[in-house]
A and B are shown apart, each in its own frame.
Chain A
Amino acid sequence: MSNKNIDHILELSNELRWQIGDDFHDNLTEGIYADAAQIVSDTVQVDDSKKRFRLDRQIDKIVTSKTFGFPIMFLILATVLWLTIIGANYPSSLLAQLLLDNIHPALKSFAASISMPWWLDGFLIDGVYLAVAWVIAVMLPPMAIFFPMFTLLEDFGYLPRVAFNLDNLFRKSGAHGKQALTMTMGFGCNAAGIVATRIIDSPRERLIAIITNNFSLCNGRWPTQILIATIFIGAVAPSAFSSLISLLAVIGIAVLGMAFMFGTSWALSKTVLKGQVSTFNLELPPYRPPRFWKTIYTSLIDRTLIVLWRAIVFAAPAGAVIWLISNIYIGNESVAAWTIHSLDGFGFLLGLNGVILLAYIVAIPANEIVIPTILMLTVLVTGIDGGAGAGVMFELDSANATADVLKAGGWTLLTAINLMLFSLLHNPCSTTIYTIYKETKSAKWTAFASIMPVILGFIVTFLVAQIWRIIF
């Protein structure tokens, strides 16, 4: 079949192309539209007399208006976050009580009853089990609230309006307006946001969207932000305003992330990824009332459980590593203590400390376990009471207890602010890095997308620390 002689067909087509002229494409398109119009005029009837009040258009006028568009966006974001923060507290503490206070001791005594060797018991129950339990207790409730709310907004049709509002900013920074959609996906999970960049046609703009997606604060990082903001930022405000102040701090970080996204996109499009901004049609679909229970159900099953499962898969080995590095000794210092001490100097420069840096190294697989790792390591090096022993991840019952441990570890308001900044500006988690590689098929860009945010994080925290120390 492959040897068909089609040269004469091609020749004929070239010849005919000259004859029919340049506007062939336009003529054909017009022809199609004329056909479509004819068919529609014969088959479709619109009852104009009953043309109802166009609610769609009225809503759009408000949510995409120049004056109200942005405030409404932040208000919705704030509401979703607020409900997540408030609502997640109770189930979180219930789960923590069940998994950490009841099941953990039960497992320990069971291990003792069958006289399991101490290292196996520690490795499995204090390492792997606790890491997994912590991730479930801390992540499941916020996700189970955040994802359904996000999906409801998505089904309702709000996302394209967000893209519409942000389009101008993205265009000014040399990126594609659809990046607004992938950015919002990134607020749930950066890996998902990066897969979603496939909607961007131009390879240049798609690469920008992939590289900068990490600046969307992902689900694994929200809890860190919320916890640290509550403990340190909220604590400096009068108690009546403390939760409002901490909420504003978290939103501030999220907005800062968006600012970094625009800045980096702009810098990239002016340097290594130069090129034209492509235009596109963005359809603002009609608002559709979401099918409430169905949405809740599918977002719980499909999003929440999948993300949770991933977190568990990564948390288990990370828990094991934490337990190992705190229990393997070189000389008379554990590997963890030794690393922390050698990172302390660099950490001080950044307004952080060795513990935080080591926690971020250990937590590359899953951002969710940063806080428990920090607490555990702090207890380990400062030797204060409150922890459950070397290499045991734990979550203290109240934010106050957590604050006590951290303050004993030499934490100040500066440490807290810089930890929030560093949590925003550091390398993507391993899943995201792998996804970037799969989507770009380029080791160079993967390395760039992974290292650039860390360097940015170092610079920003360094500057903040220096300025802070000059002022105070």
Chain B
Amino acid sequence: MDTKVKSACETCAHFNADGLKKLGISTENVDFVIALAGNPNTGKSTVFNSLTGLRQHTGNWPGKTVTRAEGGFEYNKQKFKLVDLPGTYSLLSTSEDEAAARDFILFGKPDVTVIVADANRLERNLNLVLQILEITDKAVLCLNLMDEAKRNHIMIDERTLARDLGIPVVPTSARFGQGIPELIHTISEIANGNIVCKPHRIKNVPSNIENAVKTLSSEIEKEFPNVPNSRWIAFRLLEGDTRIINALKSGELV
């Protein structure tokens, strides 16, 4: 029997529906760990649900995800574990949910960090995106709520955005399942090293600070040659972040 192709999308390599298996909560023997970060109320839990087939509670109010939810999916015979982090506006303060999100990206060493952003409020969302890009260089921006952006007549040049941020950008409308196959494919490509990111590093820093950061980070790199985010550690040390000082002492960061 012929299988009828419903849309052009299904013929595309990105679609690859056969390669996808939603694993729900079974996350044993995973190949990759994926973190899901982003501002509150950008639809992280909805993205999480559509990737894992789980029904994590979603709701239209910020701060709904209080427990770290985990789930999994299988793509092209590789198993991915997905961790839904609490939504935060920043990683620079010390409230419990922000610390939880930051600690996971930093110490959990996810293979890929999916940053979910609200396409309607990109500028405000970029604050967190840029901070995460200082920590990790394996990330993808999931530009969610595209349906709303369209309604609000907001147009985003995804290619330029991807070039400026140095990471892949995937537009999605997770509530309607749009863009999710492309997102999965991109996650898999980054995890397998087929896409190499060159993340944006914060540029508009006064020169005296920039020099201090450079001095400190080169010193850090001498001691820890394998650390990918020496610049970020330098930022934190200059801030006097005791959690990072302790982590450096115990060798947790390496």
Contact = CB atoms under 8 A, between A and B. Distances in A.
Nearest to A157: B60
A159 B61 contact: yes
B100 to A, nearest CB: 10
Contact of A24 (B89, B175, B238, B250): B238
Given A27-B209, A45-B156, A199-B66, 4 more contacts: A4-B248, A24-B239, A39-B165, A39-B200
B181 to A, nearest CB: 19
B155 A31 contact: no
Contacts of A288: 60, 148
Decide if the interface of chain A is mainly helix, strand, loop or mixed: helix
B154 A6 contact: no
A35 B202 contact: yes
Nearest to B169: A43
A36 B223 CA distance: 32
Contacts of B59: 151, 154-155, 159
B219 A12 contact: yes
A298 B120 contact: no
Interface stretch (A14-22, A83-91, A110-118): A14-22
Nearest to A7: B249
A369 B89 CA distance: 44
Interface stretch (B69-77, B125-133, B189-197): B125-133
A263 interface: no
Interface residues of A, number: 65
Interface in A352-400: none
Given A28-B209, A35-B204, A199 B63 contact: yes
Residue of A6, A13, A25, A282 with most chain B CB atoms under a 10 A cut-off? A13
A39 B66 contact: no
Interface string A18-59: 011000110111111111111110111111001110000000
B161 interface: yes
Interface string A300-322: 01100000000000000000000
Nearest to B212: A16
Contacts of A283: 40-41, 62
B66 A35 contact: no
Interface in B192-237: 200, 202-206, 208-209, 212, 215-216, 219-220, 223-224, 234-235, 237
Contact of B61 (A40, A157, A301): A157
B155 A44 contact: yes
B249 A37 contact: no
Contacts of A1: 251, 254
Contacts of B200: 35, 39
A178 B154 CA distance: 31
B209 A20 contact: yes
Contact of A198 (B67, B89, B129, B220): B67
A1 to B, nearest CB: 4
Contact of B131 (A6, A19, A32): A32
Contacts of B248: 4, 6, 9
B4 interface: no
B223 A9 contact: yes
A40 B237 contact: no
Interface of B: 40-41, 55, 57-64, 66-67, 89, 92, 95-97, 120, 122-124, 126-127, 129-131, 148, 152-158, 160-161, 164-165, 175, 200, 202-206, 208-209, 212, 215-216, 219-220, 223-224, 234-235, 237-240, 245, 248-251, 254
A59 to B, nearest CB: 13
B164 A39 contact: yes
Nearest to A181: B61
B126 A9 contact: no
A408 B220 CA distance: 83
A217 to B, nearest CB: 21
Contact of A181 (B63, B157, B245): B63
Contacts of B129: 36
A376 B161 CA distance: 69
B37 to A, nearest CB: 16
15 contacts: A2-B250, A12-B215, A16-B212, A19-B208, A19-B212, A31-B203, A31-B205, A44-B122, A156-B60, A160-B60, A195-B67, A198-B96, A199-B64, A282-B62, A288-B148
B130 A9 contact: no
Interface in A276-300: 281-283, 285-288, 291, 298
A36 B127 contact: yes
Contact of A10 (B60, B96, B127, B237): B237
Nearest to B147: A288
Nearest to A290: B60
Contacts of B223: 4-6, 9
Given A9-B216, A155-B58, A27 B238 contact: no
Contacts of B57: 302
A1 B250 CA distance: 7
B66 A195 contact: yes
B220 to A, nearest CB: 6
B206 A27 contact: yes
Contact of B96 (A32, A51, A201, A301): A201
A203 B160 CA distance: 44
A8 interface: yes
B219 A40 contact: no
A301 B55 contact: yes
A331 to B, nearest CB: 52
Contacts of A282: 62
A160 B66 contact: no
A125 interface: no
A29 B60 contact: no
B117 to A, nearest CB: 11
A9 B97 CA distance: 29
Residue of B157, B212, B250 with most chain A CB atoms under a 10 A cut-off? B212
Contacts of A298: 55
Contacts of B250: 2
Residue of B40, B61, B127, B148 with most chain A CB atoms under a 10 A cut-off? B61
B160 A42 contact: yes
Given A31-B204, A302-B55, A50 B153 contact: yes
- Name the 8 nearest CB pairs between A and B, nearest first: A1-B251, A36-B126, A34-B204, A198-B66, A47-B153, A199-B63, A13-B237, A157-B60
Contacts of B63: 178, 181, 199
A20 B212 contact: yes
Given A27-B205, A285-B41, A44 B154 contact: yes
A154 B58 CA distance: 9
